[in-house]
Amino acid sequence: MMFMTASFIESWLVFVLGMFTSFVPSFPARRCCEAKNEVFRKEWGELTPAERIEYTDAVRCMQWQPQQLPRGEFPGVRNRFDDFVATHLNYTLHTHLTGLFLPWHRHFIWLWETALRDECGFTGQLPYWNWPIWANNLAASPLFDCSDSSLSGDGEYDAGQQNIQAGGVTLPRGTGGGCVRCGPFKDMDIHMGPFSSHLTSLTEIPAPAFDYNPRCLNRSLNNFISSHYTNETIVHRLLNSTDIVDFQTTMERWPPSSDGVLGAHGGGHFSIGATLEDSFVSPQDPAFMLHHSMVDRLWATWQAMDEHNRRFALNGTNTITNPPWGTPVTPDMMMEFGILDRPRPVGEAMDPRRHTYCYSYT
């Protein structure tokens, strides 16, 4: 049974038809992005406590706003926050371990940032989580220290949580595994999933994926994962990548390694664990957007180091794990965002200072 609703089917047809258009980019005129209107996304630790609280208040506001996706077709979508979760779920098989991963998520988090401003009065910019700073002690970071100005902290200890199997090795489990009981997102409910990784072998997501399944936000902070896979050495390796293939390999670690090495992207997800490990509905953890803001920051920095060769560098297809029958990603390929936005060509998302964007990172 197809997982797409009528509204998504229409968008999907636009996506497919876009693949057959000319490969000559035809983008809107450059929007003027100057110092006077450029904004800067800051690291969470650079924000004042009041600025952090303004951000978490805006996230909670999104959880109070009514959803735009129809409840009858998306029973698990209970608020505006869930609109973003369901959209991410809907396009997972095309935006992970593919050539769309970087540009699609760049626009996705920008849409989130814009919604916070337009719908919840947020006056700042989307922060980022600079992985290496607290890689050796996540619970001590201002992100996860359970203070009122944090993103909450670890989950309660779950003795039944298992170690992590990655490739041919076993990695140690995190320190929690249960519900988050402190900070701004204490006792937060999430509504969709969980999903097993076997879904990545499918060509479509089954209809029950959007069913309502309420449970708590859970986490299991893992300093072993963060200190090994999101450390300063990994960041240095990313920024010194010779080409987009090298950058993607370090970021996503695909093809997978038999030694259990995670890419930096996966390392961030697994270092928080539990809810954030579920690649389909990981935006249910408020840490998701800051994690992907860091992914985008590193990509933007790497691109700017060699404008001529990197600004429009793409590699991969539009299908998860880049099978040979997938369609190669080009600047003219259309990206879908469902109810969140109109279809956008990949080329519009290649520069954070062009088209709809005008932002940089500290």
Q: What is the pLDDT of residues 172-219, one digit of tens each?
A: 999 999 999 999 999 999 999 998 776 666 667 666 889 999 999 999
pLDDT computed for residue 290 by the predictor: 99
Q: Per-residue pLDDT for 12 more than 80?
A: no
The DSSP H or E segment spanning 65 is none
What whole-number distance in Å separates Cα of residue 156 and Cα of residue 126?
28
Tell me the two tokens of residue 209: 């994926």
Q: What is the pLDDT of residues 96-128, one digit of tens each?
A: 999 999 999 999 999 999 999 999 999 999 999
pLDDT computed for residue 260 by the predictor: 58
Q: Per-residue pLDDT for 132 more than 60?
A: yes
Q: What is the pLDDT of residues 40-75, one digit of tens each?
A: 999 999 999 999 999 999 999 999 999 999 999 999
Q: Per-residue pLDDT for 6 more than 50?
A: no
Determine the average pLDDT of the residues in 227-249: 97
Bridge partners (DSSP) listed for residue 317: 328
What whole-number distance in Å separates Cα of residue 144 and Cα of residue 163?
22
What whole-number distance in Å separates Cα of residue 343 and Cα of residue 340?
10
Tell me the two tokens of residue 11: 């968008």
pLDDT computed for residue 25 by the predictor: 37
pLDDT computed for residue 255 by the predictor: 64
Q: What is the mean pLDDT of the chain?
A: 90
Q: How confident is the model at residue 31 (pLDDT cuts 50, 70, 90)?
A: low
Task: Decide: 264 and 238 in contact? Cβ < 8 Å.
Answer: yes
pLDDT computed for residue 14 by the predictor: 32
Burial 306-338 (b: 16+ CB within 10 A, else e): eeeebebbbbbbbbbbbeeebbebbbbbbbbbb
> Residue 159: which residues within 8 A CB-CB, separation 6 or more?
none
Residue 82 phi/psi, 5° resolution?
-70, -25
Q: What is the pLDDT of residues 78-90, one digit of tens each?
A: 999 999 999 999 9
Helix (H, G, I), strand (E, B) or coil at 351: coil
What whole-number distance in Å separates Cα of residue 89 and Cα of residue 108?
12
Q: Per-residue pLDDT for 27 more than 50?
A: no
Task: Decide: 144 and 193 in contact? Cβ < 8 Å.
Answer: no
Q: Per-residue pLDDT for 141 more than 70?
A: yes
Q: Per-residue pLDDT for 258 more than 60?
A: no
Q: Per-residue pLDDT for 7 more than 60?
A: no
Inter-axis angle of helices 244-252 and 264-272, to 10 degrees? 20
Q: How confident is the model at residue 2 (pLDDT cuts 50, 70, 90)?
A: very low
Residues of the chain with pLDDT > 70, as a percent, come to: 87
Q: How confident is the model at residue 286 (pLDDT cuts 50, 70, 90)?
A: very high
CA atoms within 13 A on the CB side of 49: 6
Helix (H, G, I), strand (E, B) or coil at 126: coil
Determine the average pLDDT of the residues in 279-293: 98
> Residue 136: which residues within 8 A CB-CB, separation 6 or more?
223, 226, 227
Q: Per-residue pLDDT for 304 more than 50?
A: yes
Of 16-20, 130-134, 188-192, 307-311, the one with minimum mean pLDDT is: 16-20
Task: Decide: 129 and 52 in contact? Cβ < 8 Å.
Answer: no
Of 123-127, 192-196, 225-229, 347-351, the one with minimum mean pLDDT is: 192-196
pLDDT computed for residue 293 by the predictor: 99
Residues of the chain with pLDDT > 90, as a percent, come to: 81
* pTM beyond cutoff 0.85: yes
* Residue 195 CA to its chain's centroid (Å): 17
pLDDT computed for residue 221 by the predictor: 99
pLDDT computed for residue 261 by the predictor: 73
Residue 136 phi/psi, 5° resolution?
-90, -10
Task: Decide: 355 and 311 in contact? Cβ < 8 Å.
Answer: no
Label the pairing between strands 215-216 and 189-190: antiparallel
